[in-house]
Amino acid sequence: MQVFKGTKIVNGIAIGKIKLYKPPVYEISEDLVTDIAAELDRFEAARVKVQEQQNALYDKEMKEGHADTAGIFEAHAMMLDDDDLIDSCKELMAEGHTAEYAVREGFEAAAEMFRNMDDEYFQARSADVIDLKNSMLDVLFGADTANLQGTEPAILVAEDLAPSETVKLDKSLLLGLVTRLGSSNSHTAILARSMNWPTLIQCHDISDDWDGKFAILDSYNSCIYIEPDQYLIDELTAKQQEDREREAKLQELKGKPSETKDGRKVRLYANIGGPKDIESVLENDAEGVGLFRSEFVYLNSKTDPTEDEQFAAYKKVLEGLAPRLVIIRTCDIGADKTIDYMNLDKEDNPALGFRAVRICLNRRDFFKRQLRALLRASAFGNLGIMFPMIISRWEVQECKEVLEECRKELKAEGKAMGEIEIGIMIETPAAALCADELAEEVDFFSLGTNDLTQYTCAIDRQSANLERFADTHHPAVLRLIRETIEAGHRHNTWVGICGELGADPTLTEDFLKWGVDELSVNPKSILPLRDNVRKVDLSQHKKAESPAPVQTEAKADPAPKTPAPEAKAEVKADKPKGLLGRLFG
């Protein structure tokens, strides 16, 4: 028996034979040709055919209910219309190169450009361009790639897998996936997550002689066993069976309340990046959206999205999920998320730089475009607006002033608008420590524990080298979370958590004990989290230890929690009745 390590993407156990997935390697001639027009025609025919293939993959994924993965192929089809990419290939053919040579060089250069970008998201897009290059070459060489997967159920082992290769796989024959390359941000990883296949990437030791061997992929332990012994087979078969039973049981939790044994309710919401995630929110029975990272609307666009384009995206999500509350965070560009068309200066410390609400408050037109789109969309569902990276009260006040300005403009234009809850991210130590003051300005807080941890511990969240020092349960962070919840409740401001820590099962009981009102997590974590919540019994904790949850007027909360009478009285004295009244009355 041999054991090889990798990086896990999706937890699970796969048991069966290995099938090596080996796409064809093409010999491309460097010789020049004289019939340039013929090469241009071949290129164009291949481009149209690959575009048709991508559109067909889009339709197939939509039909199978995978709107998120369908979006990848829609983007691929659009990439094949890119003038820069097409022109760079045409220039090479005009010099006398073959269509194959032009595709290889042109597409490789585009992939290299993505690879050299600072942003991890865009770096991962280079794999999409390489995927398209391979599809173009398959067509130009007339290759038959239909049967690379074999005909028996197997653990597929590959150098890397492109999205179009992954999606073409026959799912009924796929037990699990192992690749030598790949990144956790790649589309293949996204696909693997959305399909829930046990997956290991960066398994550097894969070799051709694994082909056909019996193996167990144990991604819980980030490894694959080649020719395991009987003891391991029995043990991991039992674990696989347990997984199946647990998964089936989790499905039974759909429609059940997210409530502890002693009747304490918490709202379990989903984190999403755009309309493509609506399906997954519904499938996993999320009770609302606690974080719609609106910057993805910007990142997915080549140019600054117009008010109408944004309106269409927000409206689609609000309509698709009504009457659930959908909290849309205003654009959080900067730091690790950069966009060319924003023309932002390079900074020495981007995470401490011009980011999120700092950009919005300095670029009013840009900010107003988004706020107007949000206000217009509010007529179609139940909207919450959340401002990121807040450190001071005046920033919240200024955000609300701009919002009010937009509201007046839209009212004068006769546009319909709905009621809105207003909130802020608590993701800086400054905001957590000033939570009492900030709570007077808003309806809700959402703790962004990813940034809160990075800024509290001075640990760059992007750095792999700091892994040893990064403690996601650092007592300073946990204390700020607890104190923020308590401060919010003193002012009748409900408090959620939308950072990754919200899905950490080892903290669920503490968060509930501290009185958290909402946990917003990756849609796939909703049912496991509901399961956790339903196992908690808070009655064993002393009453004094457990701050009472706040009474909210949250429109999406079907069963508002009972307030502590003192907390309610304090609100009435402290806070003008209904922020909405002040903003939109």
Binding stretches for ligand PEP (CB under 6 A): 291, 293, 332, 427, 448-451, 498-499
Candidate list 331, 406, 457, 498, residue with the active-site label? 498
Residue 552's Cα: distance from chain center in Å? 28
- Supply the minimum distance, in Å, between the C-beta of residue 448 and Mg ion: 4
Q: Which lies closer to ligand PEP via its Cβ, residue 140 or residue 498?
A: 498
288 touches Mg ion by CB under 5 A? no
Would residue 498 show up in a list of annotated catalytic residues for this protein? yes
- Supply the minimum distance, in Å, between the C-beta of residue 121 and Mg ion: 15
443's contact among Mg ion, ligand PEP, none, with CB below 5 to 8 A by partner kind, is none
The two three-digit tokens of residue 236, written as one number: 């991991």
* DSSP designation for 265: B
Alpha carbons 138 and 145: distance in angstroms, whole number: 8
451 touches Mg ion by CB under 5 A? yes
- Supply the minimum distance, in Å, between the C-beta of residue 502 and ligand PEP: 9
499's contact among Mg ion, ligand PEP, none, with CB below 5 to 8 A by partner kind, is ligand PEP
- Supply the minimum distance, in Å, between the C-beta of residue 330 and Mg ion: 12
498's contact among ligand PEP, Mg ion, none, with CB below 5 to 8 A by partner kind, is ligand PEP
SS3 140: helix
The two three-digit tokens of residue 242, written as one number: 């347990």
- Supply the minimum distance, in Å, between the C-beta of residue 317 and ligand PEP: 17
Instruction: Pick from 68, 100, 427, 531 the residue near Mg ion by CB under 5 A.
Output: 427
Per-residue mark of binding to Mg ion, 373-392 (x: CB under 5 A):
--------------------
Burial of 142 (0-12, 13-18, 19+ CB in 10 A): exposed
Region class of 12: left (phi > 0), else alpha (psi between -120 and 50), else beta: left
The two three-digit tokens of residue 412, written as one number: 């004068």
Residues 190, 161: contact at Cβ < 8 Å? no
- Supply the minimum distance, in Å, between the C-beta of residue 282 and ligand PEP: 22
Candidate list 76, 97, 187, 491, residue with the active-site label? 187
Q: To which residue do tokens 């509010």 refer?
A: 378
Alpha carbons 388 and 373: distance in angstroms, whole number: 18
523's contact among ligand PEP, Mg ion, none, with CB below 5 to 8 A by partner kind, is none
Distance (Å) of CA 224 to CA 91, 156, 159, 194: 46, 12, 15, 21
Query: For the CA atoms of 213, 181, 178, 197, what is the dihedral angle to 10 degrees?
Result: -160
| Three-class HEC string of 270-320 | EEECCHHHHHHHHHCCCCCEEEEECHHHHHCCCCCCCHHHHHHHHHHHHHH
449's contact among Mg ion, ligand PEP, none, with CB below 5 to 8 A by partner kind, is ligand PEP
Residue 414's Cα: distance from chain center in Å? 35
For 27, residues 6+ apart whose C-beta sits below 8 A from its C-beta are none
- Supply the minimum distance, in Å, between the C-beta of residue 306 and ligand PEP: 23
Q: Which lies closer to Mg ion via its Cβ, residue 279 or residue 427?
A: 427
- Binding region for Mg ion (CB under 5 A) out of 397-405, 444-452, 460-468, 482-490: 444-452
SS3 202: coil
- Binding region for Mg ion (CB under 5 A) out of 56-64, 317-325, 451-459, 547-555: 451-459
Would residue 89 show up in a list of annotated catalytic residues for this protein? no
Q: Which lies closer to ligand PEP via its Cβ, residue 9 or residue 498?
A: 498
Q: To which residue do tokens 């965070």 refer?
A: 329
Instruction: Pick from 448, 488, 502, 523 the residue near Mg ion by CB under 5 A.
Output: 448
98's contact among ligand PEP, Mg ion, none, with CB below 5 to 8 A by partner kind, is none
496's contact among ligand PEP, Mg ion, none, with CB below 5 to 8 A by partner kind, is none
Catalytic positions, written as ranges: 187, 498
Q: Interface with Mg ion by CB under 5 A: which residues?
A: 427, 448, 451
